[in-house]
Amino acid sequence: MKKITQFFTLMVLAAGLASCAGNKVSTQATPKKKSKEQNVRDAFIQEFNKTRDLATNTVPAERLFAAKARQQQLFAEQASQRAVGGLSWEERGPINVGGRIRAMIFDKNDATNKKVWIGGVGGGLSPKASLSG
């Protein structure tokens, strides 16, 4: 019995050493986490590179403001050229119809005792005239 125990102990030890033999120790340093100042600096550099003029390597603020004004003008023109104009829309029901219900309460002020207020997990409170429909 003693020989069998020694044999299995030796086998487990040999298997453990064999599994560790293939592992390499990394000599590379792990990258340091950037500081908040470095993140802000990188954000400014990225914004500069996105908005700069390639010819002059500067940010032309006056052209940027003119472009934003033109964009607002185009949005206003598109809004006035819609196929159906002058209609007023009435919202029908809650916008977020999916999700879980967190709370439900019957309205005591309702004479028919059918009006229910429903509160969702994602926020919002919506009245419902009846639970049947």
Q: Using CB atoms within 10 A of its CB, is residue 81 exposed (0-12), middle (13-18) or buried (19+)?
A: exposed
1 found inside a domain: no
Report yes or no on 33 lying in a domain: no
- In the chain, the number of structural domains is 2
| 116 found inside a domain | yes
Six token digits for residue 123:
């926020």
- List, as one string, the DSSP characters of 82-99: -SS-S------S-S---S
Q: pTM of the entire structure?
A: 0.32
- pLDDT digit string, tens, across residues 45-89: 999 999 888 999 998 888 888 989 999 999 888 777 766 666 666
Confidence bin at 37 (pLDDT 50/70/90): very high
Domain hosting 133: range is: 100-133
Q: pLDDT tens-digit profile of 86-108?
A: 666 676 766 655 678 888 898 88
Residue 41 pLDDT > 60: yes
31: which 2 tokens? 């990258």
Contact 5, 13 (CB under 8 A): no
